[in-house]
Structure 1
Amino acid sequence: MLAKGQTVIQMMEQLAPKHYAMPDDKIGLQLGTLNKEIRNVLVALDVTTEVAEEAIRLQIDLIIAHHAIVYRPLKHLQTDTPAGKLYEKLIKHDIAVYIAHTNLDVADGGVNDMMAGALGLSGLSHLEGVHTEKLKKLVVFIPETHHEQVRAAVFNAGAGGIGHYSHCSFNLTGTGTFLPGEGAQPFIGRLGQIESVTEVRFETIVPEGIERKVIQAMLKAHPYEEVAYDLYPLELKGRTFGLGRVGKLAEACTVADLVVQVKQAFSVETVRVVGNLQQVVKKIAVLGGAGSRYIQASLFAGADVLITGDIDYHSAQDALAAGLILIDPGHNIEKIMKSHVADYLIKHLTAKKYTTNVIASEVDTEVFKFV
């Protein structure tokens, strides 16, 4: 059974929810339609002409990419321009393009976690917080006979987490009353007769991002025709998600040795380094993409080194003066997301018994050559 486009993207947005994205970031469906069956998905860093040709050759129906193909407002769609030719090629072959950018950077298991994992960093924290979960309290009244069933369904959907604790709830037994009216099909009781039932008032915490999923799970597990439940907004804040990661190497090493690790981890031949190659370092900050403006955040976090791309000359001078080592392996190291996202989608599609195929793009979209 092939998955619909919307189904594939629902799985993608479980990994990288859209509300994690930075303001004005160009994410989501940028071209084509998701209202179709998907035979083949291609995961790419960039959508270039070469990637589009790869997609056509592989009979791809959907490209999931990290970098937007429509970043600035379009003034025209002329098919004799490079961008216009690309859009025309994709449209003619009915290839949809979906973008997960800063939401994939921020997400747990996203680009920055992939980078940190490739270097074996531990004790991770983020460089800059960009999104704090809003929390709600779910209160639902459950017949005592189905209490454990409903509670398990709610927890399995992701509710009940407070800090490092899971399955958090409050449960109070009492008596519920109701009178089934004409047209009702009561699970307990008879039409026209007031019924008293031993019920449990079950309360738990629900992150706003999974509210719909939790409510659906609760309603499916609950035996009542009409379920009495409430959702209250809370002043208590949930987890904070952010850009970049800071962590520690398994063992301290020189910058020169770290450069070797970076080259191996991200499959690059050259890097730019700012600072003393013989300095011993331990605490490392990583950030996919262009990271010049995260120098101060790295210093504040106590990092010895910032590994990121697109460092400009004056930012490099500032880092050198402040004593922060910079390693710039280029923006293109975000290509690490291709295999990770492909593996994630394969796992989740297979679990649902879908036959949709997912392929990591093999096109090298690095634009710089070092000679």
Structure 2
Amino acid sequence: MTRNKISYGNLQAFLNELYPQSLAESWDKVGNHFGQASDSVKKILVALELRPQVIQEAIDLGIDTIVMHHPPIFHGINRFDYADPEVAMYAELIKHDIKVFALHTNLDVAPNGMNDWLAQALDLEDIQAVTPDEVSGNPGLARMGHFSQPLTRTQVLAKIKSAFKVDSLTYMESQEKPAYQSLAVIGGAGGSELEDIKASGVDVFVTGDISHHVGHQALDTGMLVVDASHYIEAIFIEKMTDILEKAKIKKQWAVTIQASKANTNPFQYFN
């Protein structure tokens, strides 16, 4: 069977069609970070973010393209000083001719993106956008749904912990309720959306990176607010690998796709 060679431009076009860059927040740095459209793509690594262990994994596997969730370059580079750990990573990418493409807040917002995946992982039913923009059609960040039956707080927390394979959870609630059934979720840092989530009337809000002061605000909402960590977004690796594998079969791409096995979670926990 004849396989079709693809260029980096072909890959970018495919991903941009699924997750338009127009959906990204204005401050975000989505899209191409390293490489040019005419470059060929033969081996793709799917990763959450750029870290030295991910780059080494790519080098060891002979990868020429990395598709990731977190954009590797957010701020300008004043000096290309290899003593700077971040600059050293960029130098390795250039040295080994590795292309990098990032899908961040555009993927968070889009259908079949980050927050749909997280809601599905929790087995929610009737998943829908919390704050859709009816004019633009932009569904917004948060997704909400409900469990098939009411759960106790212990059951909810156990379900979240299991679904996202996390070692521990931080939660905020002023008073425990007899039962919980509706839940909203935002991957990454969703504390700024607290009021919109409260207005939706859900029982539970799951996100990450809750600060001390936002934690106090969470107590005032009447919801069970759960900080499951930013790293729950590692679901990107499994889901994007599956999307690319299906595209490979459908479009007969002559590529190899590899899911990163590198753990890039910066936090360790003492229990």
TM-score by length of 1: 0.69
Structure 2 equivalent of residue 298 of structure 1: 197
Cα distance, 1:364 vs structure 2: 1.0
Residue identity in the other structure for 2:185: V
User: Aligned to 1:13, which of 13, 16, 20?
Assistant: 16
* Greater strand fraction, Structure 1 or Structure 2: 1
Which is further off, 282-291 or 344-353?
A: 344-353
User: Aligned to 1:52, which of 42, 49, 55?
Assistant: 55
Residue identity in the other structure for 2:219: L
Residue identity in the other structure for 2:250: A
Structure 1 equivalent of residue 152 of structure 2: 254
What number of residue pairs does the alignment pair up? Answer: 266
Whether 2:143 is the aligned partner of 1:245: answer yes
Structure 2 equivalent of residue 208 of structure 1: none
Distance in 2 (alpha carbons) for counterparts of 1:32 and 1:243: 29
Aligned positions of 1:63-82 closer than 5 A: 63-82=66-85
Asked if the contact 2:23/2:138 (under 8 Å) is kept, the reply is no
RMSD: 1.5
Asked if the contact 1:254/1:277 (under 8 Å) is kept, the reply is no
Residue identity in the other structure for 1:308: T
Distance in 1 (alpha carbons) for counterparts of 2:40 and 2:242: 20
- Seen in structure 2, the aligned counterparts of structure 1 residues 278 and 104 have a Cα distance that, compared at 3 Å, is same
Structure 2 equivalent of residue 111 of structure 1: 114
Whether 2:133 is the aligned partner of 1:274: answer no
Distance in 2 (alpha carbons) for counterparts of 1:271 and 1:322: 19
Distance in 1 (alpha carbons) for counterparts of 2:92 and 2:7: 22
Residue identity in the other structure for 1:240: N
Distance in 1 (alpha carbons) for counterparts of 2:136 and 2:170: 38
Asked if the contact 1:255/1:277 (under 8 Å) is kept, the reply is yes
Residue identity in the other structure for 1:262: I
Asked if the contact 2:109/2:138 (under 8 Å) is kept, the reply is no
Report SS of the residue matched to 1:241: coil
1:201-223 Cα shifts (integer Å, max 9, x gaps): xxxxxxxxxxxxxxxxxxxxxxx
Which is further off, 337-346 or 315-324?
A: 315-324
Structure 1 equivalent of residue 237 of structure 2: 338
Distance in 1 (alpha carbons) for counterparts of 2:220 and 2:27: 33
Cα distance, 1:124 vs structure 2: 2.2
Structure 1 equivalent of residue 206 of structure 2: 307
Distance in 1 (alpha carbons) for counterparts of 2:44 and 2:79: 28
Cα distance, 1:306 vs structure 2: 0.6
Asked if the contact 2:9/2:36 (under 8 Å) is kept, the reply is no
1:216-257 Cα shifts (integer Å, max 9, x gaps): xxxxxxxxxxxxxxxxxxxxx463321010111111101211
1:326-370 Cα shifts (integer Å, max 9, x gaps): 111100100001111111011112111112111111111111111
Report SS of the residue matched to 1:366: coil
Distance in 1 (alpha carbons) for counterparts of 2:79 and 2:90: 12
1:120-167 Cα shifts (integer Å, max 9, x gaps): 1122222334x66xxxxxxxxxxxxxxxxxxxxxxxxxxxxxxxxxxx
User: Aligned to 1:30, which of 28, 33, 58?
Assistant: 33
Distance in 2 (alpha carbons) for counterparts of 1:17 and 1:244: 18
Residue identity in the other structure for 1:315: V
Aligned positions of 1:175-324 closer than 5 A: 237=135, 239-275=137-173, 276=175, 279-324=178-223
Report SS of the residue matched to 2:112: coil
Distance in 2 (alpha carbons) for counterparts of 1:83 and 1:279: 48
- Seen in structure 2, the aligned counterparts of structure 1 residues 337 and 277 have a Cα distance that, compared at 3 Å, is farther
Whether 2:227 is the aligned partner of 1:357: answer no
Report SS of the residue matched to 1:317: helix
Structure 1 equivalent of residue 247 of structure 2: 348
Cα distance, 1:279 vs structure 2: 4.1
Cα distance, 1:277 vs structure 2: 5.5
1:60-113 Cα shifts (integer Å, max 9, x gaps): 111111111111122122112101110111111100111110000011000000
TM-score by length of 2: 0.94
Cα distance, 1:24 vs structure 2: 2.1
Asked if the contact 2:169/2:228 (under 8 Å) is kept, the reply is yes
Query: 5+ residue gaps in structure 1?
Result: 133-236
1:40-60 Cα shifts (integer Å, max 9, x gaps): 111111110110001111111
